[in-house]
A = this chain, B = another copy of it.
Amino acid sequence: MDVAALVSGVLDGDRRSVARAISAVEDGAPELAELSAGVYPATGGAATIGVTGAPGVGKSTLAAELVRRARGDDLPVAVLAVDPTSPYTGGALLGDRVRMQEHATDPAVFIRSMATRGHLGGMALAAPEAVRILDAAGYRRVIVETVGVGQAEVDVAAATDTALVVLAPGMGDAVQMAKAGILEAADVFVVNKGDREGAGEVARDLRQMLHLGAARDWEPPVLLTSATEREGIDELWNAVEEHRGHLAATGALEAKRRARLLREVESLAAERFRERVARALEADPALARRLAERELDPYAAAETLSG
């Protein structure tokens, strides 16, 4: 792989280069360090928007509508759909992106789904690097859509400037969301399928739960949308822009991005170390045997290996 050519292609906004660079991130290619070093100075221009919520609430349709809205302002926009690939079958399902199709021919729109080749644990590291590639390629809005409502998925969405948490009537209520620990990750709440029965109740319950929480510098608004009907999209877009404006005005945007970066560096370093430990364990079957036979406990083994 000619990394210098790839970097220069990305910086020129060449779509094939961007696609290849993201594939290199997915694969954990050895050239990643050089690629990252090449694109990093050109980042910082994109505003990032996370979209998370239970399967079935209409995240993809909503993301497609945000794309349309961004294009209305003539902003180049990218969508990164993050899919947890099972470590067992390697399968990824992305069947419901019909609405996305209409943007497929727009050269200022880049749509890409991304899977980790192994464990989702890797996605927390892979997604931000892919976002930086899209940022360096000139996309001014990058929408990161995740599948599922687990902590790992929420973490990915929350590692954006503005995290949208999407709900819909009949798809698990606010209490269920609170149980899954995702309410606090939201900068903006979206009750999609707002034309359906029960949407108003979901919004009301949500607002009540928010009032129970501690007062915050930014009170996450609760908006109703009906993405398939294109209703409420302007209001949502404005809320996203307003949130980022609020962050920028208070200095929180830079602080948030910097903190994110430090956590990412820590994780990268820890993952490197994990690989080193895995190799050490493989090279030392006696240690594995002593563990299995309970002569050595996991903490003592980790201590030994941490050097």
Which residues of A does B touch, CB under 8 Å? 32-33, 36-37, 40-41, 43-44, 54-56, 83-89, 91, 93, 119-121, 128-129, 147-154, 171-172, 175-176, 178-181, 183-185, 213-214, 254, 257-258, 261-262, 264-274, 277-278, 281, 288, 291-292, 294, 297-303, 305-306
Could you say which of B120, B257, B269, B278 contacts A151, with CB atoms under 8 Å apart?
A: B120
Which residues does chain B contribute within 8 Å of A84, judged by CB atoms?
A: 150-151, 180-181
Residue of B nearest to A123 (CB): B151
> Measured between C-beta atoms, what is the minimum distance from A193 to chain B in Å?
15
**B184 pairs with A268, CB closer than 8 A:** no
Residue of B nearest to A150 (CB): B150
**B184 pairs with A86, CB closer than 8 A:** yes
Which residues does chain B contribute within 8 Å of A258, judged by CB atoms?
A: 288, 291-292
**B180 pairs with A298, CB closer than 8 A:** no
Which residues does chain B contribute within 8 Å of A185, judged by CB atoms?
A: 86, 88
A-B contacts, 14 of them at CB < 8 A, read A56-B176, A84-B151, A129-B298, A148-B150, A150-B153, A254-B292, A262-B281, A265-B302, A268-B299, A268-B302, A269-B277, A269-B305, A270-B271, A270-B277
**A176 pairs with B294, CB closer than 8 A:** no
> Measured between C-beta atoms, what is the minimum distance from A70 to chain B in Å?
25
A301 and B267 CA atoms in complex are apart in Å by 11
> Measured between C-beta atoms, what is the minimum distance from A206 to chain B in Å?
15
A129 and B298 CA atoms in complex are apart in Å by 9
Which residues does chain B contribute within 8 Å of A292, judged by CB atoms?
A: 254, 257-258, 261
**A294 pairs with B55, CB closer than 8 A:** no
> Measured between C-beta atoms, what is the minimum distance from A244 to chain B in Å?
18
Which residues does chain B contribute within 8 Å of A119, judged by CB atoms?
A: 151
> Measured between C-beta atoms, what is the minimum distance from A132 to chain B in Å?
8
Which residues does chain B contribute within 8 Å of A150, judged by CB atoms?
A: 84, 148-154, 180
**B181 pairs with A298, CB closer than 8 A:** no
Which residues does chain B contribute within 8 Å of A214, judged by CB atoms?
A: 89
A41 and B294 CA atoms in complex are apart in Å by 5
A65 and B24 CA atoms in complex are apart in Å by 48
Could you say which of B36, B281, B306 contacts A298, with CB atoms under 8 Å apart?
A: B36
Which residues does chain B contribute within 8 Å of A180, judged by CB atoms?
A: 55, 84, 147-148, 150
Which residues does chain B contribute within 8 Å of A43, judged by CB atoms?
A: 294
Known: A55-B172, A298-B40. A291 touches B305 (CB 8 A): no
A71 and B106 CA atoms in complex are apart in Å by 63
**A266 pairs with B278, CB closer than 8 A:** yes
